[in-house]
Structure 1
Amino acid sequence: MKLEFLGTGSGVPGKFRNVACTALRLLDECNSVWLFDCGEGTQQQILRSNLKPRKINKIFITHLHGDHIFGLPGLLSSRSFQGGNTPLTIYGPKGIKKYVCVSLGVSQTKLAYHINFVELTKPGKIMENNKFTVYMDTLDHGITSFGYRVVEHDHPGQLLVNKLKRDHVPSGPIYGQLKQGKTVQLKDGRKINGKDYLGPSVKGRIIAILGDTRKNNHSYGLAKNADVLVHESTFAAEDSKLAHDYYHSTNVQAAELAKRAHVKRLILTHISARYTGHMNRVLQKQAQKVFRNTRVVNDFDMINVPFNKHDYVISKK
């Protein structure tokens, strides 16, 4: 599980930061990539990464401001041209279906795959498969805006092979059944319960990705105990009035949430163009005074989200 930041700026594209898009790379877990928002130029950013558009099968839109959706029509079209023929699901506020369909219709774009639209109206569970459950809650941005919480299901414990050998359980396909916790009968008549030969389960990871918002109560539930919280940081602490007036957050407000919600790592993104050069370091240091494990990310930064909280690694492409 990795997070790759394809756009970390706010409002309009800049020389050093493109507008919002975060990719959750689940290639090892389910051979797919999920996008969170898709600002203008996202497909250009993808060209500079090793992501394959055909691997993208879910897109979660936080809200309908242009810097979060203007890249959708182009990406959806290119996905079709580049061999993507499997269905894709777009989750987002009411209106996202109309925006996409009108854009593709006016340009007479024909796709080689089907798009499923899930327009969200109620907070709670919005998706579940055999590996992940995704939750949504509303934020405070002056327009309908969502935050998403991705919860990985717990992994079964390791098969205790040494214990099986001590109990003279022969190896072979039977080990696979025991790994699944099934009860099997051996040739000598013994019945073996797989649960008796499994180590402790491994707790799944939690990623919280919040859309644009000012300080609000719902953010806590989305962020609680997350391995990684991705939070906007449009303004610095000294610009808190601007943040409130424009329905955004400061770096320190995000850090206060991370501390209160007991997250393991805070990632600050959606940085205003007014903060360039050394100001990025200032933003990070201000937040670190409240929550030490904070990082301001740049475009193409990638963070590995391991099971062991001490193994976080951020790298550049």
Structure 2
Amino acid sequence: AISWDSVAKAAIGIVLSPAVAIIIAILAMFLIGGIQKLFHMGDDHVVFKGLQLVAAGALSFGHGANDAQKTMGVLGALLLGAGYTTAGPGGSIDVPEWVALSAYAAIALGTLWGGWKIIETMGLKITTLHAASGAAANIGASTAIFGATAMGMPISTTHAAASSVVGAGVGSGRGANWKVVGKMLIAWVITIPAAALVAAAVLYLTKLPTVLAWITLGAVVLAFAAWAIWAMRNTIHASDVEAELLSADELATHVPVHVKLEGEGPVADNTPSPAVLIDDIETLAEELHIPIPGHEHSDHTPTKD
């Protein structure tokens, strides 16, 4: 029987996690913008590079903590049903260590195999990221993922990460490429029912006569192998993404998305950056003669490091 309570819990997590990631990324970007204004730090200051590295590590850890558990849960249920493992107190499944190692290895290999195409979309096609906005995006995604994991909610870490990049783009004032965002939303909507249909089709195959089932299964495996070989031969690599990176001069311009990707931008956006908003607030406070504790207004603007 289907546990609809668990299905509802997963659905809530899938819907809410992108929203949480966007909000946290925007707030983080505004906080970082305030720090930039206060200490006159550029978008690629060494502090933000270090923060981005730490936040990226946290995001990777959260990725494994949430995604690998889903794989282990499915495999654990199969092993329990086949009698290869037992259920512990409260119905918990005793998952063998080889299952956990296999799940983590599969995630690592999948990232190594097809990750650069995702990196291209996330890093170049949604918005122009600097160290500061990249750190904000990672903070938003890792917060959403760790929160969902702590509550036992299986979510899509890809949805959370992509949403946080959108939030960082909006919060930084560079905007987002809504054409690409729209494509991702369509893919997200299609993925869930498509996965359900594939699972139902596989279940149907198990009910076919033995010989026919093996023939059909063999055809499916061969088709999948052919597709995998084709995908591996046509995938992009680190050198391809590196060739698309903007120069320092190009990054210094206020361009919302990567201009070298044909058909993907740029997209105009008039959203002011956090530093501009802070300037406007300071100017308004001076005009209204409202003192700002511990701050003297200066026309000095942040410089690039």
Q: TM-score, normalised by structure 1?
A: 0.23
Q: TM-score, normalised by structure 2?
A: 0.23
| Larger proportion of strand | 1
| Larger proportion of helix | 2
Bigger Rg over Cα? 2
- Higher RCO by CA contacts (8 Å cutoff, separation 6 or greater): 2
